[in-house]
């Protein structure tokens, strides 16, 4: 059955890493109950590091520095790399697979869900393009990383759009395989990563960016994004998942 | 013996291997990295199925492909060849270390 072309818009503000990941998972797991696809825009407070499902926490993150400088970290349920969430907007998109809102083929669905981000960035005059599997680039530099999972017949994709970037700070929190090459690595990443601030030549507010992305989702999916709130069931499940999974040492240190 | 490796899969993602092995066979292996695998729990199946297997390229590729096929896993940014190479490097590293 095709769901109506009305999507839920969830603007949940800034939350802890564990809560953010728990809300994303709860919205995905209850997608078959809420029926409507959900688009969520959110931030991270305090700033945090998230690592991919398959990464080793202690391999990737300098936990001492992380504790001193930001204080929050979490393992995602999605693959991909470590991300320092600071001056950025994070989005998530969740829908059931049976809704056929996104292509069944994973690689095609990444592109479909990244298109609204590309359209949103166009509002700022930026010519953004999708680079498989999971990146969006502007002028050859990465501005957005995305990650997808599929569970219980539902799709969840979340991703970041860098509003400002501080590569030095990011690397003070992440471990690198060879300390001697850290300086070169930082220079390499500076060449490969960009932000809205760098591309627009001025700071862009979270609200302005989320407004543009909302339009992007509406255009790409031919849908209307209607402001909504998490249901009681979603809030309850998110609290449970936050306690049992994302706040738990067993999960975050599992690899 | 313990072996570790870091291997950037050509056109793919970075894979890190941490492995215990004995007599040319894997005793335990952990596969880390910034790749994607659907469903994600499939990584534990690959790690489990590699235990007791000979550290030999063709054997490793065949075993990984068997697990992938049996469990309908989809790999992105990694491949059976890439994982096998990373495991062989972990063995080599231990020998040279």
pLDDT tens digit string along A8-46? Answer: 999 999 999 999 999 999 999 999 999 899 999 999 999
**CB distance A90 to A41 below 8 Å:** yes
Give the H or E element holding residue A154: strand A154-162
**Count helices and strands in chain B by DSSP H and E runs:** 3, 5
Backbone phi, then psi, for A111, in 5-degree steps?
A: -60, -45
**DSSP secondary structure code for residue A3 in this structure:** P
**Across chain A, how many H-helices and E-strands are there?**
11, 11
**What pLDDT, on a 0 to 100 scale, did the predictor assign at position B94?**
82
Residues of B in contact with A106 (CB under 8 A): 38, 74, 76
Q: Do B17 and B91 contact (CB within 8 A), yes or no?
A: no
For B40-88, how does the pLDDT look when each residue is reduced to its tens digit (9 = 90+)? 999 999 999 999 999 999 999 999 999 999 999 999 999 999 999 999 9
**pLDDT tens-digit map of A108-161:** 999 999 999 999 999 999 999 999 989 999 999 999 999 999 999 999 999 999
Of A54, A77, A78, the CB nearest to B43: A54
DSSP A124: T
Interface test with B, best of A79, A102, A147 (most B CBs within 10 A): A79
CB of A22 within 8 A of CB of A239? yes
The per-residue pLDDT for A3 is 46
What is d(CA A238, CA A232) in angstroms, rounded to the nearest whole number?
10
The CA–CA distances, whole Å, from A19 to A4, A15, A177, A219, B63 equal 29, 6, 30, 30, 38
For residue B35, the chain A residue with the least C-alpha distance is: A80
For the record, the structure tokens of A143 come out as 């501005």
What DSSP character marks residue B12?
S
- pLDDT mean over B22-50: 97
Cβ A114 vs Cβ A92: under 8 Å: no
Phi then psi for residue A125, to 5 deg, are 80, 15
Q: Which residue has the tokens 């936990």?
A: A63
* Spatial separation of the C-alpha atoms in residues A32 and B50, rounded to whole Å: 36
CB A24 within 8 A of CB A40: yes
End-to-end CA distance of chain B: 11
CB interface of A with B, residues 135-164, below 8 Å: 147-151
CA separation for the pair A214, A9 (Å, rounded): 8
Cβ neighbours around A222 below 10 Å, total: 7
ipTM confidence: 0.94
Q: State how far Cα A171 lies from the chain centre.
A: 19
Whether the bond into A6 is cis, omega within 30 of 0? no
Q: What is the DSSP letter of B1?
A: -
Q: How many CB atoms lie within 10 A of CB A187?
A: 11
| C-alpha dihedral sign at A126, A129, A135, A138 | negative
Whole-angstrom distance, CA of residue B27 vs CA of residue A53: 23
Q: Residues 6 or more apart from A248 whose CB is under 8 A from it?
A: none
pLDDT in tens, A95-120: 999 999 999 999 999 999 999 999 99
Q: Which of B8, B76, B79, B83 to mutate to test the interface with A (most CBs of A within 10 A)?
A: B76
Q: What is the rounded CA–CA span in Å between residue A80 and residue A69?
A: 23
- Using the Cα atoms of residue A162, residue A46, residue A170 and residue B38 in order, give the sign of their dihedral: negative
Contacts of A59 in chain B (CB under 8 A): 16, 32
**Residue A1 predicted with pLDDT over 70:** no
CA–CA min distance B21, chain A (Å): 19
């Amino acid at each position: 059955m095709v769901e109506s072309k009305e999507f839920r818009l969830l603007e949940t503000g800034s939350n802890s890493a564990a809560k953010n990941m728990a809300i994303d998972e709860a919205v995905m797991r209850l997608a078959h109950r809420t029926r409507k696809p959900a688009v969520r825009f959110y931030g991270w407070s305090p700033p945090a590091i998230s690592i991919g499902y398959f990464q080793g926490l202690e391999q990737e993150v300098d936990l001492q520095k992380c504790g001193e400088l930001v204080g929050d970290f979490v393992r995602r349920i999605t693959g991909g790399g470590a991300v320092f969430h600071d001056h950025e907007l994070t989005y998530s998109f969740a829908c059931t697979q049976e809704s056929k809102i996104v292509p069944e083929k994973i690689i095609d669905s990444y592109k479909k869900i990244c298109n609204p981000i590309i359209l949103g960035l166009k509002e700022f005059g930026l010519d953004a393009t999708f680079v498989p599997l999971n990146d969006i680039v502007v002028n050859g530099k990465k501005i957005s990383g995305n990650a997808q999972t599929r569970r219980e017949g539902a799709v969840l994709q979340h991703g970041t759009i860098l509003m400002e970037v501080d590569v030095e700070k990011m690397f003070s929190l992440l471990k690198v395989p060879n300390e001697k090459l850290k300086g070169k690595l930082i220079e390499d990443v500076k060449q490969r990563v960009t932000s809205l601030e760098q591309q627009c030549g001025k700071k862009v507010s979270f609200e302005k960016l989320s407004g543009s992305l909302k339009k992007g989702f509406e255009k790409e999916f031919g849908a209307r994004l209607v402001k909504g709130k998490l249901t009681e069931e979603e809030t309850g499940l998110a609290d449970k998942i936050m306690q049992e999974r994302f706040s738990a040492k067993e999960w975050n240190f599992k690899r | 013996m313990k072996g570790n490796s870091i291997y950037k899969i050509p056109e793919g993602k970075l894979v890190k291997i941490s492995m215990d092995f004995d007599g040319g066979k894997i005793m335990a292996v952990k596969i880390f990295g910034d790749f994607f695998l659907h469903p994600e729990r499939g990584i534990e199946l690959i790690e489990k199925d590699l235990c007791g297997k000979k550290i030999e390229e063709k054997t490793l590729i065949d075993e990984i492909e068997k697990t992938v096929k049996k469990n309908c896993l989809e790999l992105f940014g990694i491949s059976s060849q890439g994982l096998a190479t990373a495991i062989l490097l972990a063995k080599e590293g231990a020998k040279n270390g």
